[in-house]
Structure 1
Amino acid sequence: MTRPRSSATLLAAAFAGVVAYASLFPFAGWRVPSGGGWGWWRLPWPAWFPQFDITANLLGYLPLGALVYVAAVRTGRRVATAFAAALLCAAALSYTLEVLQQFLPARVPSSLDLLLNVVGALAGALLGALAHALGALERWQVWRDRWFVRHSAAAIALLLLWPLGLLFPTPVPLGMGQVWDEARGWALAALDGTPWADAVHDLLALPAGVAGRPTPLVEAVAVALGLLAPCLIAFTVSPPGWRRLALALGAAAVAVGTMTLATALNFGPENALAWWTPAAGPGLAAGLLGALLCMPAGRRLAAGIALVALTGLVAVVAMAPTDAYYAHSLQDWQQGRFIRFHGLAQWIGWVWPYAALAWLLTRLARRDEPA
């Protein structure tokens, strides 16, 4: 019998994407390196060593090394193979990104960064090996087998990434997926100077709206769907019973805690509960009630309802007006106040609903999925 895919595999792939984003940001000013020839593949040794860069390069690849090691071990690979996979993946990714940085004037590639990245990945692999030696991976597998069905790795990865996406400012509480404004800007920038730029601008122009906070109804619906969606995703990979109740209550607790943390990061600890508007409480109650009503549903039915909930969430968030608080928090992030979380939380907050929609569609397309 083949082993089920580990959620660590998907998390490692997602983290590698975040590392690539952080390493190549802001993706502007691409040019061929000076000096001619193919010397750009050689990484220079830096003239100085900023302490922050050293720490960031070490810690940045530590989770990647741990995740690759755990993914390899949990799919049946030997310890030596898992170590080799962690180091080779980190080295290949780091070298590729450092070479690409030579084409970006805002980035400074160096062989020291490569070395620190590999050392960080080695430290992560050692932590993974320690967890393995202490039996933590086996206990996780036992817990997973009790709570989730086989082939649940993608759903578990989505559920683990969901709170991270909530750390990025959202137009309404739990309202992830607000990527259309950015996508519109990218499209217009790409077509700037072309004959059809004005036509595309008119096509993509937002309808005139009233500035201010979203209406209480829009906010409550977004909160309800934002909580209901992850609950239903959990239900698609868990059998009916009391564990679904625990998963729903846990999702509600995580939502409240993460939104409180995100607001504290944006506006200070004294305003940590500013997100709790008159519509947030009813929205959370409605979302939790919807999850409780769906507890007896079969896994296929839960996936179908989750698909509807996520589609509704994306639509509601896309129509939500941008209020002054949301614009202010976005400005703080973009100016670097939260630069360490920027790539990770931003992209998860943008992409998570669409990744979940794609996974649900593939889940419903499987003929062997029980009703």
Structure 2
Amino acid sequence: MNPSPARPPRLRLYIAAAYTLLVLYASLHPFTGWQDSGAPLLAFLTAPWPRYFTFFDLATNVAAYLPLGFFWGAALQARLPRWLAVALALLIGSGLSFGMETLQHFLPSRVPSNLDLSGNSLGTLLGALAAAAGKRLFDSAHLREWRDRWVVAGHRGDYGLILLALWLLTQLNPEILLFGCGDLRQLLGLESSFDFDAEHFSRIETGIAAAGAYAVGLLASGVLRQHRVRALLLLFALALLVRSFAAALLVEPDQALHWLTPGNSRGLAVGLLLLLPCLWLPAVLRRVLAGSALLFATVLVNLAPENPYLVQAAQVWVQGHFLNFNGLTRLTSMLWPFLALPWLLLVTREPWKTSTP
């Protein structure tokens, strides 16, 4: 089958739209206490340079919008000249930032800032310029060939790649359990069902890590066409690296390996040992097992008692600009299983073919 040149641009558009929604949510989190502050709505535009700020805050604002500019620049280049795509991507990013800063006027927990707007706009521009510089890479036949060789065709492959990227994003939140997504208790205002007990909690950790690794591994095996074992091991290694880096940066450097508990270690080992032989199972059975494991892990996450250590860690990193990041990763973590299940249940005319792992 000849590769379709329309697929990569469509995937870029999906990723750009998904990241835009995440930025929107993160900017307005926690969506409570809406009221007019009494100040002029656009006073932040002409406000003087803030007395107290750090270059880390500025870098955070630039970094948050850099992927936005990159994704929109890459998506728009499929249909527009390179520099027009850069200009439009900048307009989208700056317009989004302006809208979010304006709406933050009505949120007591947020403070609109022209410095934030400038940092966001700069990040968007740098990302769009990076996309323009990489235009040859995006349009390369080698990239399309790689996509068609490694990833299943059509929307299923595109959606699957986005799911895996979002799953990696959840690993940036140090307050969630290892591979434990779908915790809806905060969203629904529910309390933990059980009191914390170290031994009991360790067993729950093991179950969540094992079921989560097993479900994600089977899902990823349906996205890939070949070399599944090496690719899956690389995926899990990357997830643990991301989690360690996030904990070191957002909590404390000596907490980089806070996830390496006896419960998580056992769960990761059990999950991988169960996963590897299942890669040779028929595709339909792999989907059923992945969905079952995902549901099981989600139930365990919502039954798990509150871990005092994770609560203490959360208090350290949710302050300031991390409130944006916390909201973004928390939302992604809550919704991820419910985004993955429809993909697992999706029926296509051409079922997944079993290939050599």
Query: What's the TM-score, normalizing by structure 1?
Result: 0.79
Residue 31 (structure 2) aligns with? 27
Distance 1:324 1:344 in 2: 22
How far is the alpha carbon of 1:338 from its aligned partner?
Answer: 4.7
Residue 227 (structure 1) aligns with? 213
How far is the alpha carbon of 1:313 from its aligned partner?
Answer: 1.0
Residue 87 (structure 1) aligns with? 90
CA deviation digits over 1:170-219, x for unaligned, max 9?
A: 55422222232x1232xxxxxxxxxxxxxxxxxx5654545435444322
AA aligned to 2:145 is: V
Residue 155 (structure 1) aligns with? 160
Which one of 228, 238, 250 corresponds to residue 244 of structure 1?
Answer: 228
Residue 308 (structure 1) aligns with? 292
AA aligned to 1:10 is: Y
Distance 2:187 2:44 in 1: 34
Residue 337 (structure 2) aligns with? 353
- Say if 2:215 and 2:293, in contact at 8 Å, map to a contact too: yes
- Say if 2:36 and 2:106, in contact at 8 Å, map to a contact too: yes
Identity of aligned residues (%): 35
Distance 2:269 2:192 in 1: 32
- Say if 2:195 and 2:306, in contact at 8 Å, map to a contact too: no
- The 3 A distance-change label for structure 1 pair 111 and 215 is closer
SS in 1 for 2:198: coil
AA aligned to 1:131 is: G
How far is the alpha carbon of 1:336 from its aligned partner?
Answer: 4.8
How far is the alpha carbon of 1:2 from its aligned partner?
Answer: 6.3
- The 3 A distance-change label for structure 1 pair 367 and 292 is same
Residue 171 (structure 2) aligns with? 166
Residue 176 (structure 1) aligns with? 181
Equivalences, count: 343
Distance 2:21 2:54 in 1: 25
- The 3 A distance-change label for structure 1 pair 286 and 3 is same
CA deviation digits over 1:219-239, x for unaligned, max 9?
A: 222111121222222211223
Residue 193 (structure 1) aligns with? none
Residue 296 (structure 1) aligns with? 280
- Say if 1:170 and 1:178, in contact at 8 Å, map to a contact too: no
How far is the alpha carbon of 1:89 from its aligned partner?
Answer: 1.9
Residue 66 (structure 1) aligns with? 70
Query: What's the TM-score, normalizing by structure 2?
Result: 0.81
How far is the alpha carbon of 1:129 from its aligned partner?
Answer: 0.8
How far is the alpha carbon of 1:265 from its aligned partner?
Answer: 4.6
Listed as ranges, the matches of 1:31-110 within 5 Å are 31-32=35-36, 34=38, 40=41, 44-49=45-50, 50=53, 52=55, 54-73=58-77, 75-109=78-112
Distance 1:320 1:149 in 2: 36
SS in 2 for 1:365: coil
- The 3 A distance-change label for structure 1 pair 119 and 248 is closer
Residue 117 (structure 1) aligns with? 120
- The 3 A distance-change label for structure 1 pair 76 and 42 is same
SS in 2 for 1:121: helix
Distance 1:331 1:105 in 2: 19
- Say if 1:214 and 1:320, in contact at 8 Å, map to a contact too: no
Which stretches in structure 2 are left out of the alignment for 5+ residues?
none
How far is the alpha carbon of 1:156 from its aligned partner?
Answer: 1.0
How far is the alpha carbon of 1:250 from its aligned partner?
Answer: 1.3
How far is the alpha carbon of 1:108 from its aligned partner?
Answer: 4.1
CA deviation digits over 1:261-299, x for unaligned, max 9?
A: 345456644444343233333322222122222222344
Distance 1:57 1:277 in 2: 33
Distance 2:54 2:201 in 1: 47
Distance 2:175 2:116 in 1: 33
- Say if 1:175 and 1:317, in contact at 8 Å, map to a contact too: yes
AA aligned to 1:218 is: I
AA aligned to 2:34 is: W
Residue 130 (structure 2) aligns with? 127
Distance 2:165 2:188 in 1: 29
Which of 1 and 2 has greater Rg? 1
- The 3 A distance-change label for structure 1 pair 51 and 256 is closer
AA aligned to 1:366 is: T
- Say if 2:26 and 2:325, in contact at 8 Å, map to a contact too: no
AA aligned to 2:66 is: L
